[in-house]
């Protein structure tokens, strides 16, 4: 079974500061993928970044980077130079790579509020 834990229900961050959203996971799959999604107040789920468990380097996408520490089973999302438009719910998710275990398992989310 897979499990995602997000321990920060809410965060307030000053605009232009960097922010780290925590995510730890548990799985018995030897190969898996880790995802972050953003859900603004409008409700859609926006894919942000993906990290494969065997990727040697941490994933980066613009202002988003994933701090992947495999031994600690953590996959924290780092947003640099935060903007007001970053205010949203953020979900960490994982998916196994074995047949039949490909569903995404989500954490409970972190509500990020950027303060002007």
Partner 1 sequence: NAGVMQNPRHLVRRRGQEARLRCSPMKGHSHVYWYRQLPEEGLKFMVYLQKENIIDESGMPKERFSAEFPKEGPSILRIQQVVRGDSAAYFCASSQQGMNTEAFFGQGTRLTVV
By beta-carbon proximity to partner 1, the closer residue of 56 and 116 is 56
Indicate the pairing of strand 104-106 with strand 32-39: unpaired
Helix (H/G/I), strand (E/B), else coil: 62: coil
- Of 17-25, 68-76, 77-85, 90-98, the window that binds partner 1 (rule: CB under 8 A) is 90-98
Measure the CA–CA gap between 27 and 23, rounded to whole angstroms.
13
Q: Which of 50, 58, 63, 64 binds partner 1 (CB under 8 A)?
A: 50
Q: Tokens 């047949």 sit at which residue?
A: 99
Q: Tokens 């605009």 sit at which residue?
A: 15
Closest CA to 68 of 24, 16, 9, 19: 24
Supply the minimum distance, in Å, between the C-beta of residue 36 and partner 1: 11
By CB under 8 A, tell whether 12 contacts partner 1.
no
By beta-carbon proximity to partner 1, the closer residue of 12 and 18 is 12
Q: Which residues here bind partner 1, judged by CB under 8 A?
A: 31, 33, 35, 37, 43-47, 50, 52, 91, 93, 95-98, 100-109
């Amino acid at each position: 079974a897979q499990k995602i834990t997000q321990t920060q229900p809410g965060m307030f961050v000053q605009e232009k500061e960097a922010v780290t959203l925590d995510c730890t996971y548990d799985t018995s799959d030897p190969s898996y993928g880790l995802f972050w999604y953003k859900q603004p107040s409008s409700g859609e789920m926006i894919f942000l970044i993906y990290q494969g468990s065997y990727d040697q380097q941490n994933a980066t996408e613009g202002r988003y980077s994933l701090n992947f520490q495999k031994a600690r089973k953590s996959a924290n999302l780092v947003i640099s130079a935060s903007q007001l438009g970053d205010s949203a719910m953020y979900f960490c998710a994982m998916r196994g790579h074995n047949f039949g275990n490909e569903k995404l398992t989500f954490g409970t989310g972190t509500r990020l509020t950027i303060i002007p």
